[in-house]
């Protein structure tokens, strides 16, 4: 399948990239593939986020029902050790540790909401399709990925239920797999990044 942009990973980065690209050019064909059975299934459960980037990406996020419902009302810092916890005074903490104006959220819910926003702009999102291979052009540039291969044993041999994956080609390929992404590691090694 051919697209203008292929994004691997339906986390906050991949979905924000898809939304921004569609905002810039609604005619772009953009696909996001996600290994989880649903968007948000393979993301950290909770976080405290500063909505500054969301304000820029989707200024009316509050009116659109973004799941940022719990503002941070208090910060407490503790030093943990074998004997227990000792609270540190807030005034000793650097300004970046002040969470005033931030929200305690479920990142899974944020991603599901972002996915709905992206789909509303025309982005195609395919959960349940792990990408297993990077495809290269003759000049060495990345041309796409293979998604949805099933039936490969841990030792690499093809089992009886083997099904080849689908090639997704794009003018641009965004690798937004997260910190342990195998495709990102491959691309980093190949291009010495």
pLDDT higher than threshold 90 for residue 96: no
pLDDT higher than threshold 80 for residue 186: yes
Q: What value does the mean pLDDT of the chain take?
A: 93
Q: Report pTM.
A: 0.88
pLDDT band at residue 174, thresholds of 50, 70 and 90? very high
Q: Distances in Å between the alpha carbon of 81 and those of 72, 97, 139?
A: 26, 20, 54
pLDDT tens-digit profile of 112-165?
A: 999 999 999 999 999 999 899 999 999 999 999 999 888 888 888 889 898 888
Q: Which residue has the higher pLDDT, 157 or 80?
A: 80
Residues above pLDDT 70, as percent of the chain: 100
137 contacts 143 by C-beta, under 8 angstroms: yes
């Amino acid at each position: 399948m051919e697209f203008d942009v292929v994004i691997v990973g339906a986390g906050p980065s991949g979905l924000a990239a898809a939304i921004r690209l569609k905002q810039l050019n609604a005619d772009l064909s953009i696909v996001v593939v996600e290994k989880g059975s649903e968007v948000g299934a393979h993301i950290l459960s909770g976080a405290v986020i500063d909505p500054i980037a969301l304000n820029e990406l989707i200024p009316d996020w509050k009116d659109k029902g973004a799941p940022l419902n719990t503002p941070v009302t208090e910060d407490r810092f503790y030093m943990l050790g074998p004997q227990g916890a000792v609270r540190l005074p807030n005034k000793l903490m650097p300004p970046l540790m002040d969470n005033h104006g931030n929200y305690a959220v479920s990142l899974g819910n944020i991603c599901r909401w972002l996915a709905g926003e992206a789909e509303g702009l025309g982005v195609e999102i395919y959960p349940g399709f792990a990408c297993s291979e990077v495809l290269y052009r003759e000049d060495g540039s990345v041309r796409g990925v293979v998604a949805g291969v099933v039936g490969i044993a841990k030792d690499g041999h093809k089992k009886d239920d083997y099904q080849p994956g689908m090639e997704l080609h794009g003018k641009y390929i965004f690798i937004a797999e997260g910190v342990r992404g195998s495709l990102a590691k491959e691309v980093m090694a190949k291009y010495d990044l």
